[in-house]
Structure 1
Amino acid sequence: MTQRIVIIGGGAAGIDVLEFLLRAQSVHETAEITLIKREHEGFFSSCGLPFALQGLYELNELVLFEPEFYRAKGVDFRTGTEVTSINIPGNCVRLATGEELPYDDLVIATGSRPFMPPISGTDCEGVFTLWNREDGERLTAVLAGGEPKNAVVIGGGMIGLQAAVAFARKGLKITVVECCPSLLPAILDPDVASVVQKWLRNELTFVLGRSVRALEGAERVAAVRINEAAIAADLVLIATGMRPNVELARTAGLALGACGGIQVDHSLRVMRAGSYLKHVYALGDCIEVIDAVTKRSRLSQLASTALIQARVVTSNLLGGTATYAGCLSPTVASIAGMQVGSVGVTTAYARSCGMNVTAGTAIKYTKARFFPSRKLIVAKLLCDSNSGRLIGAQLVSEEGVAERINELTLAIKAGVTATAIIMRERCFEPSLTMVEDVLVDAAMKARNREITP
């Protein structure tokens, strides 16, 4: 009997499920797969947008797969198509055209959308978000025209900072406004964030701990109002985070969690009327997940999170019993040549969850000091004060951040302690590493041990 699988959404989460299904030999013989997305391209990698704005490559290079690629594999890949409702009792979805598509299994991967702060003036000309291909095309055209001179980026997170650097390197004067007292507050403690701010100080101006009250201008934005002050701006980018896109789920009666995402169980099945549905799954930016450290619900809107969730969903679509163990949200970003990484919890978040935290910060070279290509690296490790278990890590350097974040992700998942990090044998070659890594120094400080020469 043919299994009818319908996937709503063609971002990273939906495409990952599709890719994993196509790799399963049995699917080609037993399943009919339909993927529905509003956008007109195949798979567009939005993570690359800030670097396209810098001119490192063209926007069209971010289209990794065209619809024809999947159609040739037998997928009913529908672009420019909107799902208007999900009929859970009837096991079908309704399209804007009025067509109804029946399913045996449904995958909801509706993603997220930019959060627009509740301020006036966001509809002025010259106000942008950076979310999809259309946003990238609009910004690229404006920057190519050479008209903007002063840009304000609202939001000091990863996307905001990467975009701000792109604007600065196009010759604009840039001010970044962040309502929190430090940059990257979702992933870095203030002391580590200050390293990033220092790195960027020659390219960007920062206004921290202040909120935007309004965008001013008649038809076109002219200034950003912050309390009594106004910052001149003929281009404004709003980068204040993303919110789960859950309208379809809400109207279908699916349960939403405290963070606004779709509520799912460990198999990533959705809930309706108090019961988890056997054949309806959700994943990616639109769902809430369990934090693997705090055991609390949270959002983890990362492509890497969606990839693991897609493995779970695909296994279960094919009759498996896979479960999702929760997220650690390992994050890395390149900002003006500085690599910034984080995994697990920040100090503020851990304490808000009632955890006692011991932290250790170390600064060291990435390789032997006699190598001219050596770089400094800052590492901060957070441990549970009671057990000594590693619960978070933050790193900043020009090199070597991503691999350490991946290593620490595995360590946190395994319940590794600071002592275990100190006592673990590591590889050494002077052109590549230090004999005692910065993580060891940070772990020793986190456990209140003196570092000896």
Structure 2
Amino acid sequence: MGRRVVIIGGGDAGTYLLEALLKRGADLAITLLKREKEGSISICGLPFALQGVYPLKEIEVQKPELFLEKGVDYRTGVDVTEINLDESYVIAGDERIVYDYLVIATGSRPFIPPIPGVELEGVYTAKSMEDGRRIEAAMHSAGVKNGVVIGAGIIGLQVAVALLRNGLDATVVELLPSLLTPILDADMASIVQRWLEKEGINFIFGEPVTAIRGNGKVEAVSVGDEEVPADMVVICAGMRPNVDLARKAGIDIGETGGIVTDPSLRVKKGGRFIENVYALGDCVEVIDAITHRPRLSMLASTCVTQAKVVSDNISGDGSSFEPCLSPTIAVIAGLQVGSVGITSSTARRYGISVISAKKEKPTKPRYYPHRKSMTVKLLFDAYSERLIGAQIVSEDPVADRIDGLSMGIRAGITARDLRMMEKSFDPSVALHRDVMIDAAEDALIHRR
């Protein structure tokens, strides 16, 4: 038998790590323990399934049999109740499982606001396959006409679109004054809001949900002094790291609520990092590459990189997880939204002086048919002129631009570098005077 690796959690983080270890073909005896009954689920794909883009069953992208056939002890429907760091074992059900390496990938769980009525029938979250089945059934139930989503993050907005696509009236309630606040400044968020309002989504901003009302089943949501009719409610008020098991084992939890790790992603207990115990994914806190402060980065793209780091270290190659930029994209009712680095509000919170510019421009020449508009906002450090944040909204693709700007931030690209950048051009796909370059030039003009 090879070295024994136990992975707790089979979400994105646990699955990516499992794949990374299997690619190496090392002499490892791998056990994966997960609470859910299904195999690997793409939760990011859940809202699109609810919108009718594909059947809900398709978000189970890898079934347990795939890993069982490769020799993995892949266990579903299993609760891990204890981690014993001193004697190197975990308790799953009534079984003690010994490890040489332990990896904690327990993910996150929905934040449920402490408001009366959350226990009523017809109130849902959107975190699991079972959540998806329940929401799908509710949308297709007789008499269900009004849906309320609590929270205006990516998942909340995509779920609101799903309600619309299934013939319901959709209202989004957000305590903050604008939507998508972790990734967009208010001026950029307003573009998305107007788009979604044209689609038919109603918004209520800056007011708390004080109660969910109904007699056994939800009938309305109280928002400030207003009663909003609701036959179903989906709570998308953010996620929290699932660290109960780690905390019970004495593992250090950071200021963000995530597990503290070193650059090798080893966990810490009592001020000491443990050589053979790692954590990755939604349950860990990371270091932000701009502010250099702890934060959460609950993105599949983050745990892909983390999985490589843990796999390298278990295999003896050694690698480190760098401070995080968290490039983010989302498609919401056909509108693409992208962000990387920090927003203006984050800059203010940490006392970072910025120069910024926002530019809207078509993505193709005026003579080219069916051209679309793109709005770009760039944030630069006021002293070094280095790029520290970017936001893009367009019907055209934004992912490649966000990824390119992410690499630019890593490389220390400045506003002057962007202003002078050579850009490819063909009228069918691009302008010769690109919107990003114009935004960088405007930022330099504004600082004069």
Q: TM-score, normalised by structure 1?
A: 0.97
Q: Give the letter for the 1:188 counterpart.
A: L
Q: Secondary structure at the match of 1:447?
A: helix
1:436 pairs, out of 433, 437, 440, with: 433
Alignment partner of 1:116 is 2:112:
yes
Structure 2 counterparts to residues 230-309 of structure 1, below 5 A: 230-309=227-306
Q: Does structure 2 retain, via aligned residues, the 8 Å contact 1:114–1:243?
A: yes
Q: Does structure 1 retain, via aligned residues, the 8 Å contact 2:109–2:240?
A: yes
Q: Distance in 2 between matches of 1:73 and 1:244?
A: 30
Equivalent position of 1:402 in the other structure: 399
Q: Distance in 2 between matches of 1:63 and 1:206?
A: 32
Q: Does structure 2 retain, via aligned residues, the 8 Å contact 1:270–1:280?
A: yes
Q: Deviations over 1:365-412 (max 9, x none)?
A: 111221112100000001110110101110000012111111111111
Equivalent position of 1:137 in the other structure: 133
Equivalent position of 2:371 in the other structure: 374
Deviation at 1:349, TM superposition (A): 0.7
What is the total number of aligned residue pairs between the two structures? Answer: 446
Q: Distance in 1 between matches of 2:203 and 2:58?
A: 32
Alignment partner of 1:392 is 2:366:
no
Equivalent position of 1:44 in the other structure: 41
Q: Deviations over 1:304-359 (max 9, x none)?
A: 01101111111001002201111111111110100011111110011101101111
Deviation at 1:448, TM superposition (A): 2.1
Alignment partner of 1:201 is 2:197:
yes
Q: Give the letter for the 1:18 counterpart.
A: L
Equivalent position of 1:331 in the other structure: 328
Please list every run of at least 4 consecutive aligned residues from structure 1 whose deviation after the TM superposition is greater than 3 angstroms.
none
Judged with a 3 Å threshold, the aligned counterparts in structure 2 of structure 1 residues 449 and 213 are, in CA distance, closer, same or farther, namely closer
Q: Secondary structure at the match of 2:38?
A: coil
Deviation at 1:173, TM superposition (A): 1.0
Deviation at 1:449, TM superposition (A): 5.8
Q: Secondary structure at the match of 1:213?
A: strand
Q: Distance in 1 between matches of 2:369 and 2:38?
A: 46
Q: Distance in 1 between matches of 2:143 and 2:298?
A: 34
Judged with a 3 Å threshold, the aligned counterparts in structure 2 of structure 1 residues 146 and 412 are, in CA distance, closer, same or farther, namely farther
Q: Distance in 2 between matches of 1:343 and 1:363?
A: 18
2:143 pairs, out of 140, 147, 152, with: 147
Q: Secondary structure at the match of 1:426?
A: coil
Equivalent position of 1:68 in the other structure: 65
Q: Give the letter for the 2:151 counterpart.
A: G
Structure 2 unmatched ranges of 5 or more: none
Judged with a 3 Å threshold, the aligned counterparts in structure 2 of structure 1 residues 329 and 146 are, in CA distance, closer, same or farther, namely farther
Q: Deviations over 1:50-88 (max 9, x none)?
A: 111111111111111111110111100011111001000
Q: Secondary structure at the match of 2:292?
A: coil
Q: Does structure 1 retain, via aligned residues, the 8 Å contact 2:330–2:338?
A: yes
Q: Give the letter for the 1:366 counterpart.
A: T
Q: Does structure 1 retain, via aligned residues, the 8 Å contact 2:151–2:174?
A: yes
Alignment partner of 1:217 is 2:229:
no
Q: Distance in 1 between matches of 2:357 and 2:133?
A: 44
Q: Deviations over 1:279-305 (max 9, x none)?
A: 000000000000011100000000001
Q: Distance in 2 between matches of 1:334 and 1:226?
A: 28
Q: Does structure 2 retain, via aligned residues, the 8 Å contact 1:368–1:434?
A: yes
Q: Distance in 2 between matches of 1:434 and 1:237?
A: 42
Equivalent position of 2:345 in the other structure: 348
Deviation at 1:144, TM superposition (A): 2.0
1:161 pairs, out of 145, 157, 160, with: 157
Q: Secondary structure at the match of 2:29?
A: strand
Q: Secondary structure at the match of 1:120?
A: coil
Equivalent position of 2:316 in the other structure: 319
Structure 2 counterparts to residues 160-199 of structure 1, below 5 A: 160-199=156-195
Deviation at 1:222, TM superposition (A): 1.0
Q: Does structure 1 retain, via aligned residues, the 8 Å contact 2:139–2:168?
A: no
Q: Does structure 1 retain, via aligned residues, the 8 Å contact 2:207–2:223?
A: yes
Q: Does structure 2 retain, via aligned residues, the 8 Å contact 1:179–1:211?
A: yes
2:101 pairs, out of 93, 100, 105, with: 105
The percentage of counterpart residues that share the same residue type is: 52
Q: Distance in 1 between matches of 2:144 and 2:222?
A: 18
Q: TM-score, normalised by structure 2?
A: 0.98
Deviation at 1:7, TM superposition (A): 0.5
Q: Does structure 2 retain, via aligned residues, the 8 Å contact 1:366–1:400?
A: no
Q: Does structure 1 retain, via aligned residues, the 8 Å contact 2:261–2:267?
A: yes
Q: Does structure 1 retain, via aligned residues, the 8 Å contact 2:329–2:338?
A: yes
Deviates more, 1:414-423 or 1:128-137: 414-423
Q: Secondary structure at the match of 1:277?
A: strand
Deviation at 1:445, TM superposition (A): 1.6
Q: Distance in 1 between matches of 2:329 and 2:150?
A: 21
Deviation at 1:424, TM superposition (A): 1.4
Q: Distance in 1 between matches of 2:59 and 2:224?
A: 39
RMSD of Structure 2 on Structure 1 (CA): 1.0
Q: Distance in 1 between matches of 2:386 and 2:113?
A: 38
Q: Give the letter for the 1:8 counterpart.
A: I
Q: Distance in 2 between matches of 1:416 and 1:333?
A: 25
Q: Does structure 2 retain, via aligned residues, the 8 Å contact 1:381–1:443?
A: yes
Deviation at 1:146, TM superposition (A): 3.8
Q: Does structure 1 retain, via aligned residues, the 8 Å contact 2:138–2:232?
A: no
Q: Distance in 2 between matches of 1:367 and 1:62?
A: 35
Q: Give the letter for the 1:258 counterpart.
A: E
Equivalent position of 2:4 in the other structure: 4
Structure 1 unmatched ranges of 5 or more: none
Q: Secondary structure at the match of 2:50?
A: helix
Alignment partner of 1:125 is 2:121:
yes
